[in-house]
Structures are given as structure tokens and as C-alpha cells.
A and B are shown apart, each in its own frame.
Chain A
Amino acid sequence: MKYTQKDFKSDQEVRWCPGCGDYAVLAALQRVLPKVCEEKGIDKEKVVVVSGIGCSSRLPYYMNTYGFHSIHGRATAVATGVKVANPELCVWQASGDGDALAIGGNHFIHSIRRNVDLNIMLFNNRIYGMTKGQYSPTSKLGAVTKTSPYGTVENPFNPGSLVLGSKGTFFARSLDVDLALSEEIMLEASRHKGAAVMEFLTNCVIFNNGIHSDVTDKETRADRTIVLRDGEKMIYGKDSDKCLVLDGWRLKTALRSEVSEEDILVHDSHSDNLGLQMQLADMRWPEFPVALGVIRRVEDGTYDERVDTQVREVAAKSKIHSLDELLHSGATWEVK
């Protein structure tokens, strides 16, 4: 490989809090980019990292690539502009749950609707960390924070259902503590043509410590999460004794000993089975294991590519190919 992880590290000192989950996602990105460049056959100057505002949005400063730390909520819009202007660039976005789902919710869903070829890394720590501990649109109902001293009275978004509800073409999930899986879904996202949303469940050690520990703790993780891989049966648990089956239209957990092997669901992220994928993305502990890995990836044309194609097609048919032709088009007259 032409590059190593080191090539993607900038000279800036990383200034997240010790123990912050963002370190691991940054490391995964720096580790995967040499592979991405290799696979795509591109040089690193083609990589652009765009972010909004928030702790995780500091990420571009730590990457030795072209980077843009934009304004709160607008990372998706800036990244869209970069990609549409020059589809040859490999564009990554870093946003937190507040940046992408609160102030930037509109840009987020529209980039998914348009299927802009972006790799969107959503750092979900269910809290506003940079402003020191207010609830976010992914904070659980009743969450006690500085702005909800008596608990929130609003339901959170599940980023997965938002993406799939917008008919997103790619959604994957990983944990900050699972570096290998994070790297794996990043590579899959980079291979996907279209808006690829990756949700990372990250820990905010200062303001929301342990918010994901139900599913991230080493001892219980295998029983409370399921890593979905294409063609593999949906089996999980430390002893691989649990599985997912259908009960009518609905997902159900079961013990393998209680169902026949043929009834165990087999994952297919490529099928356009939005209903099932939505249920998988929605699974929450303790009713269900939390789904990790690539939940959905389906093919569709990308916005940036369609814009480019249309420019070429119209140019091939048009009679106007220069400014002078434009200026003289339509009704003109001579003054002699």
C-alpha cells in the first residue's frame, strides 16, 4: 500500500478528553484510509474531510488531508457542495448527534434523499458535550441533563430509522470500542456509491459516561449486540445460543434450541427489504440485541453523478457552447 496510518495523521495535537470515544473512531479512519486509497486507486489529496461543530467535528484538524471545519449543522451541506462540484473527490463527513440530527437535520435527510456520494460518520454520544452537557435529539426519554434537570419529556431520534425512513441507501453501526468493526464498516461505506451513514455509539466520558455501556461492556457485549454480516444467520450471544426469527411480520429473539435452524433469519443488506432492515436498525437492548455492521446497502444512482451526467447530456444536444453563442441567442436586432 502506498500510504500508512501515519500519512493521515496531522501535526495537530488531538485535544479530546482522555477516554473520549472519538479517539477510536479517528484511529479507525486513519487506519482505513490507506486501504480506501488503494482500492480506489486515488492519492490522498483527493480525500476531503468535512465537519460541522461539536466535539467530534474537530476531527478534520487531526487528519492530514484537505479538511473543512464548517459551522454548526451544515457539514452535510458543505460536503454536498464539495462532492457535487468535484465528484472525483472522496468526501468524508464527521458530525455529532446534535450537529447532524438537531440543527442540521434538514441537510442530513436531504443528502440521504438525494443520495449524494458521501461517507457520513455520525458520532452518537446522546449528549451535547462541547457545550457541557445538555440533552441531544438522541438522549433517551427522561434523560437528566443540565437543560433537563427533571428529565427530558421528548422522544429521541433513532438515527437508523431516520436514515431508512428517508430511503437511505446505506446504514451501518459500530461501537467506539470495536475498532476493527469500525474500520470494516468504513471500508464498506467507502465502497458504497451514495450517502453512506455510519453510526458510531461513542462514549462521552465527562457528561454522559457509560451511556452505551449496556451494549459496549466487554463481558455482556456478545449477548446484547448482534453483528450482521451478509449471508450469515442472525445468531448472537457469547455461546452463539441466541438468534433472530420472524413472528409474523415482526422480529423476535429466540434461543436456537427452541427454533429450527431454517427459521433463523439470514442477513442480506443488499435486498431492498426496508421493512425488515428498519426493524433491525430499531432494535434496542433489553428487548433486542443492538444491530451492528452494515444493516442496509442498496444500489441507486447518486446525485453528484446524475448532475454530472446531465451536464454532459445537455451539452451534447445544446446549440449553445460558448458565451458568445449565448449572448446572441434568441431575438436580437442590429442598430446601423
Chain B
Amino acid sequence: MQHKVIDAEDVVIRFAGDSGDGMQLTGTLFANTSAVFGNSLSTFPDYPAEIRAPKGTVSGVSGFQVHIGSRKVNTPGDYCDMLVAMNPAALKANAKWVSRTGLVLVNSDAFDEASLRKAGFSTDDPFAEAGVSDRNIIVAPITELTKESLAGSGLDQQSVLKCKNMFTLGMACYIYSRPLDYVYGYIASKFSKKHPEMVEPNRKVVSDGFNYAAAIQAVPNVYKIDPAPLEKGTYRNITGNQALAWGLIAAAQKSGLKLFCGSYPITPATAILEELALHKSLGVKTMQTEDEIAGICTAIGASFAGRLAVTTTSGPGLALKGEALGLAVMTELPLVVVDVQRAGPCTGMPTKTEQTDLGTAIYGRNGECPIPVIAAHSPAHCFDAAFTAAKIALERMTPVLLLSEGFLGNGSEPWKIPSMDSYPEIKPRYAKASDEPFRPFERDAETLARSWAVPGTPGLEHRVGGLEKQHSGALSTDPENHALMVAERAEKVARISDMVPPLEIDGPSKGRLLVVGWGGTFGHILSAVEKAREEGLEVSFAHFDFLNPLPSNTGEVLSGFERILVCELNSGQFASYLRSTHPAHEYLQCNKVQGQTFLVHEILSSIKKAL
């Protein structure tokens, strides 16, 4: 069958099926194939909260979305150009995400009466019921075709059924003109050592899927997405959580320190602890502690003992760590606290993304308790953000709060592997023994950072703790001394602005509207701004990675615009913060608190309203 080949700038494919259908793997292989092919891409997995929800139900649907492009792709995409639904529940859960001109590929063998009912369809026409009957629907008996493909392979029935996803992957590769080399390579490396008998059947089923799609009329067109003009270099795929863990290891290397991480498992931050636990060969020590508080307190102990110390968590854990964060502020010890934000309050929606911990990050402790706050803006940027957080902590003797998001932690993108030579050294401020008694809270004249006297160093014995102290380290409840120390701790954090690069403006530096964001909304806002410009609108964009202190040119940037539209996945926490720190401007808001990322068109319509 000769299909018409259409050049596409970018496409979004969502693979969805039952938790056991292997959709995460299918999506990952499709994404990696595209990465090696040279496309720009962004992915996001959408897992159910339940580990093994009842089979065939909507709550058990697992999805993986991948956005590939011949130009820079900023987000995993809003609506998909093709939805792969391995069962009725997957169709039911994802139909609303199919674009108006989208394709739907279903495994018709899974659409029997019982499965339709289980998914909550009341009629025998799930497509009409799901509102997609006007789309191109490819109805393929994937289970039967897989069985046929593997007849005589010697594999048992269960192993054969497990290969359905590979047949589907073959079909998707045909429809989007993907070469199969990467998939073949994956199969070989996965099976050739332990299960060599699985290599040939897996190759065959992918190839049969590819050829089947090539042979059928139901496939309306074939799409071609050319490689994107990417910078030369060696690339790898990386999730935000992995990048964050590696950024910390990088900072340990650049500072000549060993890394210690004390953490308690919590969605969606756990993968950072898991990743760090793998890298003992790089001197990393990890402790899975008895609770969140022990996570930060062991880290504070390790910091006192002279290590680069880290604790990782999500919102509920950050709440529990509050008092100990104050201890790190009072003792002025270096510490990185990572919060991979999720939908709150309380337990909220653990697997869903949000930006609702900003207020807690900036203000959420007892007393006057300033902490530098940094936010990562993409999965790969988590590496740089973690590195910078550690650099600030170690050079300025302060805990640093690093905000990530579930969307960033689980999301992935290709990353050009950096050369570590291009990263700056990190120079901890060690104390030196002298004839004078050591004064632990004596400060550097410029940065106001104290110096770090590590146990084991002769002559620098001293005591730290949560009580107010004088510069000498002696306890004090003297009113003037307390006022002085409060002011100095605040000023120390404020002076970190000399390590913060100036806020950059994408677009003209003066105009009617500046769109502002922070954290993981970067890609969506950028796409919305690009679309607005394509429509002839004049709009500029500034994205904040540094939230406390803000870049020192923030006021100057904001002053160039009549209005400022603050986009964030909460009810306006950053907008309120800007109103209090830079009150002279008019702020409009674009907010979403649904546990979901923005859709580009949502921001776009806010931009239009704001203009």
C-alpha cells in the first residue's frame, strides 16, 4: 500500500494502556528512537497512583506522551496527533486529549463487551461515546496479529501476549517514518545475554507491526519529521530527578567534598534518593531514614561533619522539615533541600504536578528565617539548578531550597552531555586555626558568610545550635544582638544576588506585556509566547530560576512593561511575592491548580486577554 508522506514540523503521540501493557517502555523506545534520529523531543509519563489498579479499569490506565519535532520542542505537548489505546479504558481516559485532526489506534481485540463495560462504556460504540468518531481510527486486531506473528516461535502464550506492545511500536514507527535500528539494538542488549531465545521473536514482532501498518489502508498518511538543528555533541536522555541527582554529584566533585543524602521515600522525589544510592562508587553515602525529620537532621549532622549534605522530599515532607530548616539557618551550615512539588495540600494528589510550595519555600518557617530559593525549569536544567544550589550553600554557608516539580522529575528530554570543565569550581569557606579563639559566627565582610570549622580540625572546637548567639558563639538573649543577627542572616541571603545571573528577556525589553513564569512552566510559556508572536502579537517573556534573592535587575526588567502577566500552577503565589517585592507594577495572573501542567493554548488566551 502506497501511503502519502506528509512533512510534519512536530507531532505528539500518546501511548496508553493497562498498567501491565508496557506503555512506558513503548513510549520510551519510541522517544529514544526519535532522539537518535535527531529530533528535538520532550516526554512525560502519566502513571496511575495505584501500583496495580484492577485490570481494564480507567484508574489502571498508564500513559506516556512524547512530543517530537524538527525544531525545538519545549513541552510534551498538549493534544496528541495519535492516541494509541490498548484497551477501552485507555480510550476512555485519554480521548479528550486527541487533537481534532488526530489519529486513534486501538487494539480491537481488547474491545470486547466485558472490557467496554469495565471501562464504563454503556454502548457498543465507544468511539462515539468518547467523542472521537470523527477522527481517523485505526482498528487493528493487535493481540491476534501478535499471536500470528509469533506462531511457531516457541514462546508460551503469556510471553507472546506480552509482545503486543512491540507490535504496536512497530506500527507507530511506520506511521511516523522511524527507523527500527534503535529498537533492534535495545532488544539485542536486553535479551542476548540472559534470554537469547527472546531476541528473534521480539525483532520479528516489531518488524511485523511495521509491515502490517505499511500494508493496511486504514493508515491515512505517513508522517516525516526531519531531524532538528541541534547543537553538535554527545546526547543522552535524562529525567529531571536523575539530572538533579547527578548535578549534586557534580557539585560534590567540584567542591572536593563527599556527598551525603538523608531522605525518606516520597512521591515524586523518591527517584533522586534511588539514583544517588546507585552511585556509591563516587563516594556518595545515602541514608533512607526513619522519617522526613531524620532525613534533614542526618543531613545537618553530615554538614556539620564537613560533607556536602542533601535531603530530598516533596511538599508534605517539606512541612515536616520546617523546624530543622530553621536549625540549618541558625547554625549557618551548608545544606541543599530539594522539594519536588506535587499537588497539595496535605497528601493531595501525590502523582500530580503543581507549583504550590513556593510560599512555604520562601516563608514557611518560624521566626525570621530567610533561605535562598532556586527553581529548576526543565528536566535537564535540574542538573544545573542542583549544582548551583550546592555552590551557593557551600560558598555562602546557608541551607538552599531547590524547587523541582513532579512534571520535571518524571519528565525527560535529550540532554547534551556537558564537559565538567565548563562548570565553575566550588570553594567552601573553611576556617583556619589561629592563636585567637575561634569565633564561629564571625562573618566575611563582603558576603557575610561565616566560616566552616569541621570536626577533626585541631584548635577550632566550637558549639553551634538553634539558640541565638553572638559572633563569638556565646549564647545571648541580648535584644540588640538578636536584632543584629536577624539582620545579618537576612542580608547574607540578600547578598547572594551577586551570584545570580541577571534576568534575561526573551523579546523586546520594553512593551505592553511581559509574560513572567518560574520553574517547570518554562516550556509551556515559551511555546505560548512563540505562538502569540506567530499571530503577530508583541509580547516579551522572562523566566525566573532564582526566586530568593531575585535577580538584581528584576525591577529594571519589570519597569519596561505596562503590564506583567504571571503564569504559575497555583493561585498566585509568585504574583503575590512580586507584588510585595516590586509593588510599582500592574500584575495580571494566569493560574491553574488542577494537578496538571498548563496547556499552551490556555496561556495563549491569557496573553490575548492581557493585551
Q: Measured between alpha carbons, how far is A60 from B281 in the docked complex, in Å?
A: 35
Residue A315 lies at the interface, judged by CB distance under 8 Å to chain B? yes
| Contact call A69/B465, Cβ cutoff below 8 A | yes
**CB distance B281 to A88 under 8 Å?**
no
Complex contact A74–B297 (CB within 8 A): yes
The answer to whether B298 and A84 touch across the interface, beta carbons within 8 angstroms, is: yes
A21 CA / B155 CA spacing, docked (Å): 76
A19, B240: Cα distance in complex, Å: 58
By a CB distance below 8 angstroms, the chain A residues around B232 are 335-336
Chain B residue at minimum C-beta to C-beta distance from A312: B280
Contacts of A332 in B (CB 8 A): 234-236, 417
Please indicate the chain A residues that have their CB under 8 angstroms from the CB of B515 in the complex. Answer: none
- Output the least CB separation between A42 and chain B (Å): 9
A103 to chain B minimum Cβ distance, whole angstroms, is 10
- Contact partner of A311 (CB less than 8 A), chosen from B38, B283, B416, is B283
Are B305 and A327 in contact, with the CB atoms below 8 A? no
Decide: A327 near B417, CB < 8 A? Known: A84-B260, A88-B456, A110-B290. yes
**B570 surroundings in chain A (CB, below 8 A):** none
Contact of A310 among B36, B280, B301, B418 (CB under 8 A): B280
Is B289 located at the chain interface by the 8 A CB criterion? yes
Segment 281-314 of B: residues with Cβ below 8 Å from A:
281-285, 287, 289-291, 293-294, 297-307, 309
Contact with A along B241-278 (1 / 0, CB 8 A): 00000100110010000101010000000000000000
B32 contacts the other chain (Cβ, under 8 Å)? yes
Q: Determine, out of A43-51, A122-130, A225-233, the stretch whose residues face the partner at the interface.
A: A43-51
| Cβ proximity bits A62-94 to B, threshold 8 Å, 1 near / 0 not | 011111111100100111111111101100000
For residue A307, CB closer than 8 A to chain B, the reply is yes
Chain B contacts with A in 549-564, Cβ cutoff 8 A: none
Assuming the contacts A82-B301, A107-B294, asked whether A335 and B260 have C-beta atoms less than 8 A apart, the reply is: no
Tell me if B246 and A84 are in contact (CB < 8 A): no
Asked if B139 CB lies within 8 Å of chain A CBs, one says: no
Asked if A61 contacts B294 (CB within 8 A), the reply is no
- Report A-chain residues with C-beta under 8 Å of the C-beta of B249: 323, 326
Q: Does B206 contact A (CB under 8 A)?
A: no
Q: Is the CB of B297 within 8 A of A70?
A: yes
CA distance A111 to B534 in the complex (A): 61
Given contacts A315-B281, A323-B250, A334-B235, is CB(A81)–CB(B300) below 8 Å? yes
B507 partner residues in chain A, CB cutoff 8 A: none
A46 touching B283 in the complex, CB below 8 Å, given contacts A69-B463, A106-B291, A107-B290: no
Closest CB of chain A to B322's CB: distance in Å?
A: 11
Contact with B along A298-336 (1 / 0, CB 8 A): 000000000100110011011011111011101111111
Interface check B462, CB cutoff 8 A: yes
Q: Which of A9-67 contact B (CB under 8 A)?
A: 10, 12, 43-46, 48, 50, 53, 60-61, 63-67
Once the chains bind, are A66 and B461 in contact (CB under 8 Å)? yes
Q: Are B417 and A71 in contact (CB under 8 A)?
A: no
Are the C-beta atoms of B236 and A331 separated by less than 8 Å?
yes
Instruction: Answer whether A70 and B456 are a contact pair too, CB < 8 Å, given A50-B301, A78-B301, A110-B294.
Output: no
CB distance from A117 to the nearest CB of B (A): 13
Please determine whether B282 and A321 come into contact, CB atoms closer than 8 angstroms.
yes
Given known A74-B324, A332-B235, A332-B417, contact A82–B281 (CB-CB < 8 A): no
B interface footprint on A256-280 (CB within 8 Å = 1, 0 otherwise): 0000000000000000000000000
The interface centre, meaning the residue of B231, B279, B306, B418 with most chain A CB atoms within 10 A of its CB, is: B279
Check B281 against A85 for contact (C-beta < 8 Å): no
Instruction: Tally the A-B contacts, defined by beta carbons under 8 Å.
Output: 201
Bitwise interface map of B from 390 to 420 toward A, beta carbon under 8 Å scored 1, else 0: 0000000000000000000000000011101
Bound complex: CA A107 to CA B262 (Å): 13
Which B residues touch A307, using CB under 8 A?
A: 285, 287
How far is A43 from B309 in the complex, measured between Cα atoms in Å? 25
Residue B474 is within 8 A (CB to CB) of chain A in the complex = yes
> Does B455 touch A at the CB level, under 8 Å?
yes
Residues of A within 8 A of B475 (CB): 12, 61
B37's closest neighbor in chain A, by CB? Answer: A333
Q: How far is the CA of A68 from the CA of B552 in the complex (A)?
A: 36
Q: State A61–B281 Cα separation when bound (angstroms).
A: 38
Say yes or no: B299 contacts A71, CB within 8 Å: no
Known: A86-B305, A321-B281. A326 touches B246 (CB 8 A): yes
- The answer on a CB contact under 8 Å between B464 and A78 is no
Partner pick for B463 among A60, A74, A86, A315, CB 8 A cutoff: A60
B178 CB to closest chain A CB, in angstroms? 14
Interface string of B87-123 (1 = CB under 8 A from A): 0000000000000000000000000000000000000
Q: Would you call B253 and A323 a contact (CB within 8 A)?
A: yes
Contact present for B297 and A86 (CB under 8 Å):
no
User: Is B323 at the interface (CB under 8 A from chain A)?
Assistant: yes
Judging by beta carbons under 8 Å apart, are A86 and B420 in contact? no
With A12-B474, A77-B301, A333-B235 as known contacts, state yes or no: A84 contacts B285, CB within 8 Å.
yes
Are A68 and B461 touching (Cβ within 8 A)? no
Contact of A331 among B32, B262, B298, B463 (CB under 8 A): B32
B463 proximity list for chain A (CB < 8 A): 10, 60-61, 63, 66-69
The CA of A321 and the CA of B282, in the complex, are separated in Å by 6
Q: Shortest CB–CB separation between residue B387 and chain A, in angstroms? A: 11
Within 8 Å by CB of A77, from B250, B293, B331, B457, lies B293
- Say yes or no: A45 contacts B280, CB within 8 Å: no
Contact between B466 and A71, CB atoms less than 8 A apart = yes
15 contacts between A and B (CB under 8 A): A44-B461, A48-B305, A53-B466, A66-B304, A67-B464, A81-B299, A85-B307, A86-B307, A86-B455, A307-B285, A311-B284, A321-B281, A323-B282, A326-B249, A335-B416
**9 closest A-B pairs (Cβ-Cβ)?**
A81-B301, A69-B465, A318-B281, A81-B298, A77-B297, A85-B302, A67-B463, A85-B305, A66-B455
List residues of A whose CB falls within 8 A of some B CB.
Answer: 10, 12, 43-46, 48, 50, 53, 60-61, 63-71, 74, 77-86, 88-89, 106-107, 110, 307, 310-311, 314-315, 317-318, 320-324, 326-328, 330-336
Given contacts A61-B475, A314-B281, 10 further A-B contacts (CB under 8 A): A12-B475, A66-B461, A66-B463, A68-B465, A70-B465, A74-B293, A74-B297, A89-B305, A321-B282, A323-B246
